């Protein structure tokens, strides 16, 4: 389903089912703290096609030295898998907070300098997603301002959301690892973890 289909001239951000499920599971796993991650994919017709979400942190999301270490490993992963970093996702600590904060904007700007048109996805963790209204807002950089875009498409929306509901019901979010988890226990995979997402 295409949200904001009347904006046909705007480049479309397409969110793959696996990427959507991963970032939502990450937010649901840590509902009382901020979470963030990096989005991988490619540019398609001037828009962004997001195929994978890589969970980074929960709690303290702006620790620059750890972010640098994680980004080096993600760059190596991208080189090995022929993928590109196309954006960043963030869920705020407070469910009532719908603002794109300083950390999210700054990381987005950094990614924009590497890949234009990088996007920032803000997860609305107080909302239940539907096929017509996803629980997220996609921002693109217009001039120097991060601006919400309506041209957002979730691939296989109905099936993807049904799969997400099943994952949550089975507790799959508790098996999801982020870079924080990997730092606590190096045996926990975070870049290429095998979850039955869809």
Per-residue model confidence (pLDDT) at position 61: 65
Selection from 68, 85, 88 nearest residue 77 by Cα: 85
Count Cα atoms within 13 angstroms, Cβ side, for 130: 2
Residue % of the chain over a pLDDT of 70: 90
pTM: 0.88
Residue that is written with structure tokens 């969110």 in the block: 15
Cα–Cα distance measured from residue 6 to residue 18, given in angstroms and rounded to the nearest whole number: 26
116-174 pLDDT tens trace: 889 999 998 777 777 677 889 999 988 889 999 888 899 988 888 998 899 989 999 99
The residue ranges of the chain whose pLDDT is under 50 are 1-9, 197-198
Cα–Cα distance measured from residue 157 to residue 159, given in angstroms and rounded to the nearest whole number: 6
Which strands make up the sheet holding 145-149, listed edge to edge? 2-3, 152-154, 13-15, 47-58, 35-44, 84-91, 119-123, 136-142, 145-149
Assign residue 40 a region (left: φ > 0; alpha: ψ between -120 and 50; beta: otherwise).
beta
């Amino acid at each position: 389903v295409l949200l904001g289909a009347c904006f046909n001239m705007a480049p479309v951000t397409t969110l793959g089912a696996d990427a959507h499920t991963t970032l939502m599971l990450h937010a649901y796993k840590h509902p009382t703290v901020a979470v963030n991650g990096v989005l991988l994919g490619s540019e398609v017709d001037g828009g962004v096609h997001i195929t994978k979400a890589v969970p980074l942190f929960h709690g303290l999301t702006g620790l620059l030295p750890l972010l640098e270490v994680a980004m080096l490993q993600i760059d190596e992963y991208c080189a090995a898998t022929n993928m590109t970093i196309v954006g960043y996702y963030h869920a705020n600590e407070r469910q009532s907070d719908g603002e794109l904060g300083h950390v999210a904007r700054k990381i987005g700007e950094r990614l924009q300098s590497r890949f234009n048109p990088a996007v920032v996805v803000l997860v609305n963790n107080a909302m239940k997603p539907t096929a017509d209204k996803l629980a997220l807002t996609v921002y693109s950089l217009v001039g120097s301002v991060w601006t919400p875009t309506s041209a957002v498409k979730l691939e296989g929306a109905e099936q993807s959301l049904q799969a997400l509901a099943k994952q949550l019901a089975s507790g799959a979010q508790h098996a999801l690892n982020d870079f924080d988890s990997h730092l606590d226990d190096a045996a926990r995979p975070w870049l290429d973890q095998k979850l039955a997402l869809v």
